[in-house]
Amino acid sequence: MVMNVRGYATHSPTSPLGLFNFVRRDARATDVVIDILYCGVCHSDIHNARNDWDGSRYPMVPGHEIVGRVREVGAGVTGFKAGDAVGVGCLVDSCQHCRTCARGLEQYCENGFTPTYNGTDPHDRMPTFGGYSERIVVSDKFVVKVPDGLELSGAAPLLCAGITTWSPLRHWKVGQSSKVAVVGLGGLGHMALKLSKAMGADVTLFTRSAGKGDDARRLGADRMVLSTDAAQMAAVNGEFDLIIDTVPYVHDVNPYVATLAISGTLVLVGYLGPLDPMLNSAPLVMGRKTVAGSVIGGIAETQEMLDFCAVHGITSDVEVIRMQDINASFERMLKSDVKYRFVIDTASMPAA
Ligand SMILES: NC(=O)c1ccc[n+]([C@@H]2O[C@H](COP(=O)([O-])OP(=O)(O)OC[C@H]3O[C@@H](n4cnc5c(N)ncnc54)[C@H](OP(=O)(O)O)[C@@H]3O)[C@@H](O)[C@H]2O)c1
Ligand SMILES: [Zn+2]
Ligand SMILES: [Zn+2]
């Protein structure tokens, strides 16, 4: 048995997204069926839709910042019931028995996690389709609760932009005495500012966009550094314990390494691929500095982040769009013209 679902899909790296009717599995005993209310638009959706990272499969229904309400649950589900506000992020399954899954690090599953879209369900081999759609069926282990009090459209981007920045902030133990910098003020960047500020850190934004200063301060930055201005860069030489670099495309990382304090770490979360220009190891060696990477976060950690956001009143700054606006929204994102996350209201899904 399967269910018919409407969504928006792309059929090639160059075609626009359009209405797409497809099937999802009926609920298995441990599944939760979710009526999707909102889905955030992540820059990864553009990378995947356009095959920037190779391995894209079509038709593709993107979307991994999903918030909705439980429609029904399988017979074996005890943690969720119809009507609950829930979220689904970037992963919908993992092996559940490897060493990293056992540590709650499903995003690093040794057997590979199942992505919310552009993947294959390990049980029935059906393709996974994401949140640019009206309904999704997900194993209960990969569903999180959206705490009361979090506005739902603003909560959707927490499921990727939020957890992707939360995870390194926690892993590198950011707290009151930390000096944190964020590179790039987009979806991930604005969440990194809000979260690190709420953790008590002193926060700096690196940006190419001179006009983002007021927003940066409102979002939690104590200062802004224009990365294109050599004097401003020199003024923060040796400052930061942790830098979260969200830039989506190849860029020179060396100027940011110079701004790390001794033993500091720069975490790449945006760009995947060879660095150009090459990374100079000398400042790493001479300053015990680290250049690291990080991908999304585990399920327990995602719940922890949502609960933290509820306590601190943190949601994403969103521009709610109609499903039909998605292609124009991709173009605006590519021009860094979004404050600071597009979120699709799935009630706008065309009938046929
Ligand atoms: N590691 C993970 O788990 C994970 C999870 C989600 C997303 N991602 C990746 O993280 C990246 C950021 O995603 P996002 O949704 O936050 O994107 P976004 O909203 O488009 O923001 C990216 C920001 O980076 C800056 N930027 C853009 N192009 C740049 C360039 N060529 N050189 C320098 N800076 C540039 C801009 O900020 P300024 O205007 O302030 O300079 C822009 O606002 C994407 O590559 C995405 O695929 C990774
Ligand atoms: Zn994402
Ligand atoms: Zn595993």
Nearest ligand, CA of residue 186?
Answer: 1
Mean pLDDT of 299-319: 98
Q: What is the pLDDT of residue 352?
A: 73
Whole-number Å distance between alpha carbons of 204 and 197: 10
State the Cα torsion 250-256-258-260 to the nearest 10°. -130
Looking at residue 246, what DSSP letter applies? -
Domains and CATH numbers, the chain: 2-160+317-348 (3.90.180.10), 161-293 (3.40.50.720)
Q: What is the pLDDT of residue 2?
A: 81
End-to-end CA distance of the chain: 22
Q: What is the pLDDT of residue 79?
A: 98
Six token digits for residue 291: 């250049």
CA nearest ligand 1 atom 9, residue: 270
Cα(81) to centroid of ligand 2, in Å?
27
Q: What is the pLDDT of residue 158?
A: 99
What pLDDT, in 10s, does the model give residues 5-45?
999 999 999 999 999 999 999 999 999 999 999 999 999 99
Cα(186) to centroid of ligand 1, in Å?
6
Mean pLDDT of 212-224: 97
What pLDDT, in 10s, does the model give residues 62-101?
999 999 999 999 999 999 999 999 999 999 999 999 999 9
Whole-number Å distance between alpha carbons of 95 and 102: 10
Q: How many degrees, rounded to 5, is the angle at CA 93 between CA 1 and CA 125?
A: 45
Give me the percent of the chain exceeding a pLDDT of 90: 99
Reported as type and span, the H/E element at residue 35 is: strand 31-40
| Average pLDDT for the chain | 97
Q: What is the pLDDT of residue 147?
A: 98
Residues in contact with ligand 1 (CB, 6 Å cut-off): 42-44, 47, 160-161, 164, 184-189, 207-209, 212, 246-249, 251, 269-270, 294-296, 333, 336, 338
Mean pLDDT of 271-296: 98
Residue 1 pLDDT > 90: no
Six token digits for residue 320: 């709610």
Q: Which of 250, 246, 100 shows the shortest CA–CA distance to 168?
A: 246
Whole-number Å distance between alpha carbons of 276 and 270: 14
> Which segments of the chain does DSSP mark as H helices, in order?
43-49, 99-102, 152-155, 161-171, 187-198, 213-219, 230-235, 254-257, 282-287, 299-312, 326-334
Confidence of residue 168 (pLDDT cuts 50, 70, 90): very high
- Asked if residue 195 lies in contact with residue 166, where contact means CB atoms within 8 angstroms, the answer is yes
Confidence of residue 120 (pLDDT cuts 50, 70, 90): very high
Looking at residue 133, what DSSP letter applies? B
DSSP-based three-state secondary structure for 16: coil
What pLDDT, in 10s, does the model give residues 173-182?
999 999 999 9
Nearest ligand, CA of residue 248?
Answer: 1
